[in-house]
Amino acid sequence: MSKRETEQRYLAACAIAHEAGRLMRAHYEKREKNSYTLKGHQDFLTEADGEVEKLIVRRLGEAFPDDTVFGEEGGGKFSSRAWVIDPIDGTANFARGVPHFCTSIAYVQDGKIAVGAIYNPILDEMFAAQAGGGATLNGRPLKVSATSDFRADRKSTRLNSSHITISY
């Protein structure tokens, strides 16, 4: 795949994740208490999961009709050019009213992840990456620590019943 094709998928993944996030947030803000079903033990399913997945699948299909899509809720197909999506990553939080969830979209080329986008609509945070291009948060590059000795760059927190201790 060319760099241009990867870039197109990167931009599409970010735009679609953002659009899905707006839909997710709208559902979250109007959800009713206990408006979910259980697929299994602690495996929640909401109406929003299905709607968000349909939106993502439709947008990806419009943009890249030759790619396949596999979604957490609806399944799908895998090919040498496949999208893997989790419409609401953190459905248990979503269903319980805990504002910590996101949508996750990845593009896999020949078995290797080439593009990823994770969007949290509550915090308006877009984590995105493409192979060979690094990762970003809201468009700003993310960097790892330059520390080679992790003992020197360690932070710890200790809690007990009377106080909190933070050491650096």
- Residue 137 has which token pair? 């948060």
Which has more confidence, 100 or 154?
100
Four-CA torsion 143, 118, 45, 59, nearest 10 degrees: -170
- Reported as a pLDDT band with limits 50, 70 and 90, residue 42 is very low
Which has more confidence, 57 or 45?
57
pTM of the complete model: 0.80
Section 2-18 average pLDDT: 96
Q: Per residue in 74-113, pLDDT tens?
A: 889 899 999 999 999 988 888 888 899 999 999 999 999 9
As a whole number of angstroms, the distance between CA 21 and CA 42 comes to: 23
pLDDT given for residue 99 in this prediction: 93
- Residue 166 has which token pair? 């933070």
